[in-house]
Amino acid sequence: MGKKLYPDKQHIIELVDGLYQMGLRQVVVCPGSRSAPLTLAFARHGGFQIFTVVDERSAAYMAFGQALSARGTTPVALICTSGTAVLNMGPAVAEAYYLRLPLLLLSADRPAFSIDQLDGQTIRQANIFEAHTVFSSTLPEHGRTNIDLKRSRKLMQEAWSAMIRQQGPAHLNVPLHEPLYELPPFSVRLLTNQPAEQSDFFGNSTQNSTQNLFQNSSQNSTHNVLQNSSPSVASDASHDSTALSNLRDTLRHATRILLVPGQSAPDKQLDDLVSQWLQDPRVVVLMEPVGNLLNGSHSSVTTDFSVSSHPSDSSVSSDTTDSSVTTDSLDSSDTTDSSGSTVSSHPSVYSELDSHKATVCTGRVYRHEDILAQDSAQVRGLRPDAIISWGLQIVGKRTKNWLRRQSETNERNPIGPTRPRHFRLDPLGWAVDPYHNPPELIRLSPYNALHAVTNVMNCERIGGQEAQGLYQHTPTAPTNSQGVPVSNESYQKQWQLQEQKADNMLTPLLNYLPFGDLAAIKEVSRHIGADHAVHLGNSMPIRYWQMLGGSARSWWLHANRGTSGIDGVNSTALGFALSMPERTVWLVTGDLSFAYDINAFSCKERPDNLRIIVINNQGGDIFRLIDGPSRQPECEDLFATPRKIDLLALAGAWGCDTFRATTAFELHTILAHLHTRPAGSGPAVVEVVTEPKSNQIVYQSYQKALLNP
């Protein structure tokens, strides 16, 4: 009976319908993608009153107020996406617990295999509110079989019962697999197959203490997975030296070596060392801008944070290099169309970028991750035979998926490619497997690990000295997935060709952008100095930045892409600016993200060095651009959620210095003015008003150019 297959999200349909039958009528929805199946199911059911609130903390208090007004007789449900979004419900959950009000928290989650593996917006959500809920559990990951459905139904009923009987909040964590925007219709009803326990459910439920439920339910396994895979430090030091000598051996024989730095802070020493490695044509760096490696500014800027020694693994020698601070002068001779219709290209960003020596060696920032989605022989031919990874999250889904695909092997083809050997460098020894290719862990900083094996690389000078035992490799032809040789080009050359191809396709587009999000961000990037820091909102701004190829000018690029969503972006940039008054700190963010975290300015300090660019495209434009939500008729109401608010009045009320740009010319003039503001002006907030329609055209043209060359 358990084997019968239903649509994957059948349990969500049943959950929603079941809650309706229990008496739920009001639902507060916080927009998000992972939670889309829940959002759409509630909206399409037709029996619920739905409210959308962007800030989860406020949303939870609002649901709390609704439950309060009903004197706790009827639970109110709350839906949010995964990651820190869930934690933001915390204050209202605690309040509801101590004031005994029934709130049903439905938190969308990633599948268990993603947890603790450096996926974005992924934290340990199972039982996260355990201490302040009357019931807490995790639904099955699928709703395909009778067993899944029965279990999901039981948990929903137990949650409801606990809320009613014990008067307090209940938490159902809901792991959801992709696709997220394909729901079965409500007409596929299975509630008639209810097992007998439903009828006597209310009588049985109270003896199921929360404790027992946890023990009986399958989310225990999630919990165990977490505990087993949670970052841990192996105590066996010999393990590291074995892994290091494995790395050395691998590098001796590899012809295709891929370095994958995830999100990291700038590190000048590592920069210099990787630049040396890039003299070896077998080496390619696949990195997003937030990797902060080889960003071209270290050579002229001292970074307070550059790591001169790595105390965690000081047994391996490290050298320190210092240099003086210079500030990049801004080229203000750019021509800007005074009609405001287009922003002409500014060669300096790209020429500076291209002139960096690392670029000569290889794609230093692989700029066009979208190309990795292509299923061409050339892209397949980029498969490495060794991966060395470090740092934190990779933001781009395509890059991550491409890396994951590299570890797939074809078991039916014994002469096919083997899985690339994967080494992970982490002084803290976190046991993570972000690319689905179980790594050999080396508990050293990236610098020290790479430095320890540099003598087998084909580079001339290492740390100011001639390399010992220079390895002279004989390139062997790379093979495709059938083991057939595809190219005799060096690994670097192959990546360069792909990058070049992408550049050729994109240059005409990027040079003549109509005014909109991408053009505005491009213009902003031209005003950023080499010693400035840039924070990016983690909705479209970081993606646009990536589309532009990152910036050669910024000294430190940051985005809250650990597990955070759009919460806390203003506060992070403000904190950064306050602790670094000598540097200019830019934040490029969206209108919803900006409004979400407006309370950042409730702090007394008003740092002049903070410049905030708020791209006001009237709501969460990302939902209009990405494939799933943009196809839903509910896209505007439930996902993009535009709000008619005067952002500048909001910022002005908090004492910020405000500006509004609606054309390229206005933006250019305002940005130029920012350099001359008098001291004491406070944070500058520039609202850039753009049209979603125009953004859509640009975004689609970009995708089309890359994916259908």
Ligand X SMILES: Cc1ncc(C[n+]2csc(CCOP(=O)(O)OP(=O)(O)O)c2C)c(N)n1
Q: 164 or 613: whose CB is closer to ligand X?
A: 613
Binding segment toward ligand X, per CB under 6 A, in 502-510, 526-534, 565-573, 626-634: 565-573
What would the two tokens of residue 422 be?
Answer: 């994967």
One of 479, 490, 498, 617 touching ligand X (CB under 6 A): 617
What would the two tokens of residue 147 be?
Answer: 């067993």
Q: 84 or 658: whose CB is closer to ligand X?
A: 84
Cβ-based burial of 85 (10 A; exposed 0-12, middle 13-18, buried ≥19): buried
3-state secondary structure of 664: helix
In terms of phi and psi (left: phi > 0; alpha: psi -120 to 50; beta: otherwise), the region of 371 is alpha
Contact between 158 and ligand X by CB under 6 A: the answer reads no
Find the shortest distance in angstroms from Cβ 32 to ligand X.
4
Kindly identify the residues of this chain, within the stretch 520-539, that bind ligand X according to CB under 6 A: 537, 539
Q: Per-residue x/- marks for ligand X, 297-326, CB under 6 A?
A: ------------------------------
Binding segment toward ligand X, per CB under 6 A, in 126-134, 198-206, 302-310, 559-567: 559-567
Q: 32 or 340: whose CB is closer to ligand X?
A: 32
Contact between 622 and ligand X by CB under 6 A: the answer reads yes
DSSP for residue 113? G
Nearest to 552 by CA among 576, 535, 528: 528
Contact between 103 and ligand X by CB under 6 A: the answer reads no
Tokens 């970009």 belong to 702
DSSP for residue 343? E
DSSP for residue 638? I
Q: Considering CB under 6 A, how many residues would be counted as binding ligand X?
A: 23
Q: 55 or 666: whose CB is closer to ligand X?
A: 55
Find the shortest distance in angstroms from Cβ 105 to ligand X.
14
Binding segment toward ligand X, per CB under 6 A, in 199-207, 260-268, 413-421, 560-568: 560-568
Q: 446 or 590: whose CB is closer to ligand X?
A: 590
Beta carbons of 423 and 450 less than 8 angstroms apart: no
Look up residue 19 and give its amino acid.
L
Kindly identify the residues of this chain, within the stretch 578-607, that bind ligand X according to CB under 6 A: 590-593
Which residue lies nearest ligand X, judged by its C-beta? Answer: 565
Q: 387 or 689: whose CB is closer to ligand X?
A: 689
Contact between 566 and ligand X by CB under 6 A: the answer reads yes
Contact between 176 and ligand X by CB under 6 A: the answer reads no
Q: 140 or 537: whose CB is closer to ligand X?
A: 537
Find the shortest distance in angstroms from Cβ 31 to ligand X.
4
| Backbone CA torsion sign across 214, 215, 219, 225 | positive
Q: How far apart are CA 509 and CA 520, in angstroms?
A: 14
Find the shortest distance in angstroms from Cβ 86 to ligand X.
9
Q: Per-residue x/- marks for ligand X, 632-671, CB under 6 A?
A: ----------------------------------------
Alpha helices in 362-489 (DSSP H): 377-380, 397-406, 446-453
Nearest to 559 by CA among 328, 350, 394: 394
Q: 148 or 621: whose CB is closer to ligand X?
A: 621
Q: 32 or 529: whose CB is closer to ligand X?
A: 32
The radius of gyration of the chain from alpha carbons, rounded to an integer in Å, stands at 27
Q: How far apart are CA 624 and CA 630, in angstroms?
A: 4
Q: 496 or 616: whose CB is closer to ligand X?
A: 616
Task: Report residue 79: phi and psi, to 5°.
Answer: -115, 135
Nearest to 456 by CA among 406, 388, 356, 391: 388
Q: Which residues contact 214 (CB under 8 A, 6 or more apart)?
A: 127, 130, 136, 137, 220
Find the shortest distance in angstroms from Cβ 109 to ligand X.
14
Q: 156 or 622: whose CB is closer to ligand X?
A: 622
Contact between 573 and ligand X by CB under 6 A: the answer reads no
Q: 382 or 559: whose CB is closer to ligand X?
A: 559
| Backbone CA torsion sign across 487, 493, 495, 498 | negative
Contact between 629 and ligand X by CB under 6 A: the answer reads no
Q: 269 or 593: whose CB is closer to ligand X?
A: 593
Q: 424 or 561: whose CB is closer to ligand X?
A: 561
One of 109, 267, 369, 621 touching ligand X (CB under 6 A): 621
Contact between 54 and ligand X by CB under 6 A: the answer reads yes
Look up residue 598 and give its amino acid.
I
Find the shortest distance in angstroms from Cβ 39 to ligand X.
11
Contact between 85 and ligand X by CB under 6 A: the answer reads yes
Q: 14 or 597: whose CB is closer to ligand X?
A: 597
Length of the chain: 709
Q: How far apart are CA 107 and CA 172, in angstroms?
A: 7
One of 10, 26, 66, 81 touching ligand X (CB under 6 A): 81
Q: How far apart are CA 541 and CA 369, in angstroms?
A: 15
> What H or E segment, with its residue span, contains residue 234?
none
Find the shortest distance in angstroms from Cβ 444 to ligand X.
34
List of E strands, 437-508: 440-442, 461-462, 465-466
Beta carbons of 558 and 576 less than 8 angstroms apart: yes
Contact between 565 and ligand X by CB under 6 A: the answer reads yes
How does strand 684-689 pair with strand 610-616? parallel
Find the shortest distance in angstroms from Cβ 83 to ligand X.
7
Find the shortest distance in angstroms from Cβ 307 to ligand X.
31
Find the shortest distance in angstroms from Cβ 673 to ligand X.
25
Find the shortest distance in angstroms from Cβ 422 to ligand X.
29
Find the shortest distance in angstroms from Cβ 572 to ligand X.
13
Q: How far apart are CA 46 and CA 573, in angstroms?
A: 41
Q: Per-residue x/- marks for ligand X, 539-558, CB under 6 A?
A: xxx-----------------
DSSP for residue 89? T
Task: Report residue 336: phi and psi, to 5°.
Answer: -120, 135
Q: How far apart are CA 558 and CA 384, in angstroms?
A: 28
Binding segment toward ligand X, per CB under 6 A, in 63-71, 148-156, 377-385, 619-627: 619-627
Find the shortest distance in angstroms from Cβ 546 to ligand X.
13
What would the two tokens of residue 39 be?
Answer: 């959002």
Integer CA distances (angstroms), 48 to 16, 25, 274, 629, 690, in order: 10, 5, 56, 20, 34
Find the shortest distance in angstroms from Cβ 549 to ligand X.
19
Q: How far apart are CA 457 and CA 220, in angstroms?
A: 47
Kindly identify the residues of this chain, within the stretch 7-36, that bind ligand X according to CB under 6 A: 30-32
Q: Which residues bind ligand X (CB under 6 A)?
A: 30-32, 54, 56, 81, 84-85, 537, 539-541, 565-567, 590-593, 617, 620-622
